[in-house]
Structure 1
Amino acid sequence: MTPFLAELTGTMLLIILGGGVVAGVLLKDSKAENSGWLVISFAWGFAVAFGVYLAGQISGAHLNPAVTISLASSGQFAWKDVPIYLLGQLIGAMLGAVVVWLHYLPHWPHTDNPGLKLAVFATGPAIRKPFSNLLSEIIGTMVLMIGLMAIGANKFADGINPLIIGFLVVAIGLSLGGTTGYAINPVRDFGPRLMHFLLPIAGKGNSDWGYAWIPVVGPLIGGVLGVHLYKAVFADMFSIWLGVSATVTLIVIVLAYIKER
């Protein structure tokens, strides 16, 4: 298996399990209907863990452009390999969304609310405030990258790291996910949103493209800031400089958020 196929299949599994739990909780007449945020958060964490188990030994299991680009920005991943990783992740996310659609095929016509159907594929804000929503995605992905760097620096028993990563995602979902649905991964949102737009889903409504830039831009910014803030702790001079810049950027965003309110 090549790194491209590893990223594709790992991301596909991630979306099948992650999108699948959202469909089970939200779609009408599912046996898991209304089982709640706790179920969604834990299932997404396990989705990430099993995606990492599947792809980890081949590609390192980035499964997320924010991870790939942030690692490349810090010299821990070759820029020449970035495009093939991103392409695999995007295709995998799209295919995973198709599997979720097929699996829940009888439930789409039974669900009247088009917003619930979109939520199976893409994230959306609890309160629509662009700067606030962007800040939430930045913070969530910063925490993700700082956590991933810390997990990688610790010596866990063989095979435990993916499970620990999964619990990190659970923690982010439970603690920070209530504002925007914690995309923290551009292709996790964009790939399935694109399939929501393309697939013949009964009564699906629009795909909310006006919001779609936030779960793409926010994680990319947050990922780069997170990895360099982590490295700055260990006196990497470039990362210290970037960390100072990140702090200034966050202050500006917070001020914009306060003004927005």
Structure 2
Amino acid sequence: MAEATGVFFYVLPGIASVANFTLSSASPTLVPLGVATFSSLFQIGWAFALGIAFAIITCAPTSGGHFNPAITLSLAIWQGFPWRKVPYYIFSQIFGAFVAGLVLMGMYWTQISEMKAAFIEAGKPLVANGAPASILCSFPNPDQTNLGYVFLIEFFVDAFLAVVIWACLDPANPFVSPAGAPFAIGLAYGVMVWGFANVTISTNLARDLGTRIVAAIFFGREAFSYMTYSPISILVNIPATLFATAYYEIVLKDSFMIIAKGHAQHRDGDTGLVRHLSKVGMIENDEPGTDGGAAQTSAMSSDGVPVKR
């Protein structure tokens, strides 16, 4: 339930901002009044960024805050997350996005119905970028006929996000505190929306599949068949995330395990190493400036356990 709630918390504000953008841009009554200028990709990026931060703050203490099937699989591969829990987590994540899509349709039902009727009357498709279905899930632009190009965009965006997430989860990373991690991860999503939403990204299997099912219910099965894009939006997230987390684990990670093997020496000696591990940056000495047997150094480790020498 925590995983489903967390995905709901991050998807609902995001797609609500997309609804605001799409509906105000398409409305013949609102555009002349300048209301459409309130919405932009900048606003949408912030909605997803803060939604993710709030989701982590609210639900991660219970479930660990995966909120993405690819992250769940990566944690099972690299961090020992129990494989028996993986199917339950993935189902819950997709379900959370599905419920968010249904709630959004209910809250904007009047406006979406009017937009749908106007598109039908004008002979425009209901499933396309800028059409009513795009409120719920992404679709390529009409000129994005090269799916290899779309694949690479999705792959690199998802890999970027996975590296940032893995860096935030690294206990040896001195630059991200547990309190700051939700906002760092959320801002990473915001940056990707600001940079690449205009050329089509989905970023998360659960977020895309859950809302795409809702789009298929209300706007037809073309939500899955349009330009044969849905396999990219749903599945590319997994190999991209596995690649990025493998890259971090093999190339970038410099953690306690390396230090424990005696392959690291701090430039300030043992006391500097204690400061590094404790992340408090200070040592309390009975005899300042000495490093003899009578000196006692202490600090708090990252999990609150005193470290004494």
What's the TM-score, normalizing by structure 2?
0.68
Structure 1 distance, partners of 2:180, 2:35, is 29
Deviations 1:112-164 (A, max 9, x none): 34232111111122323211111111111110110011122335445321111
Amino acid at match of 2:104: V
Instruction: Give % identity.
Output: 23
Structure possessing the higher radius of gyration over alpha carbons? 2
Do the aligned partners of 1:71 and 1:227 also contact (CA within 8 Å) in 2?
no
Structure 2 counterpart of 1:206? 222
Secondary structure of the equivalent of 2:36? Answer: coil
Change (3 A) 1:172 1:107: same
RMSD, matched Cα = 2.2
Does residue 1:167 correspond to 2:187, yes or no?
Answer: yes
Change (3 A) 1:128 1:54: farther
Do the aligned partners of 1:121 and 1:192 also contact (CA within 8 Å) in 2?
yes
Worse-superposed segment, 30-39 or 106-115: 30-39
Amino acid at match of 1:52: I
Structure 2 counterpart of 1:219? 237
2:134 to 110, 114, 119: 119
Secondary structure of the equivalent of 2:236? Answer: helix
In the alignment, structure 2 segments of 5+ residues that lack a partner are 120-125, 255-309
Worse-superposed segment, 94-103 or 124-133: 124-133
Change (3 A) 1:32 1:88: farther
Structure 2 distance, partners of 1:220, 1:121, is 21
Deviation >6 Å, runs of 4+: none
Task: Give the Å deviation of 1:33.
Answer: 3.5
2:73 to 65, 69, 87: 69
Does residue 1:178 correspond to 2:195, yes or no?
Answer: no
Change (3 A) 1:229 1:99: same
Structure in which a larger fraction of residues adopt helix: 1
Does residue 1:19 correspond to 2:34, yes or no?
Answer: no
1:91 to 82, 91, 95: 95
Structure 1 distance, partners of 2:72, 2:230, is 20
Amino acid at match of 2:197: G
Higher relative contact order (CA 8 A, sep 6+): 1
Instruction: Give the total of aligned pairs.
Output: 228
1:55 to 51, 55, 59: 59
2:145 to 111, 121, 128: 128
Structure 2 distance, partners of 1:129, 1:36, is 26
Secondary structure of the equivalent of 2:113? Answer: coil
1:33 to 33, 36, 40: 36
Structure 2 counterpart of 1:152? 169
Does residue 1:188 correspond to 2:188, yes or no?
Answer: no
Do the aligned partners of 2:53 and 2:183 also contact (CA within 8 Å) in 1?
yes
Do the aligned partners of 2:154 and 2:202 also contact (CA within 8 Å) in 1?
yes
Structure 1 distance, partners of 2:49, 2:95, is 21
Structure 2 distance, partners of 1:27, 1:40, is 13
In the alignment, structure 1 segments of 5+ residues that lack a partner are 237-261
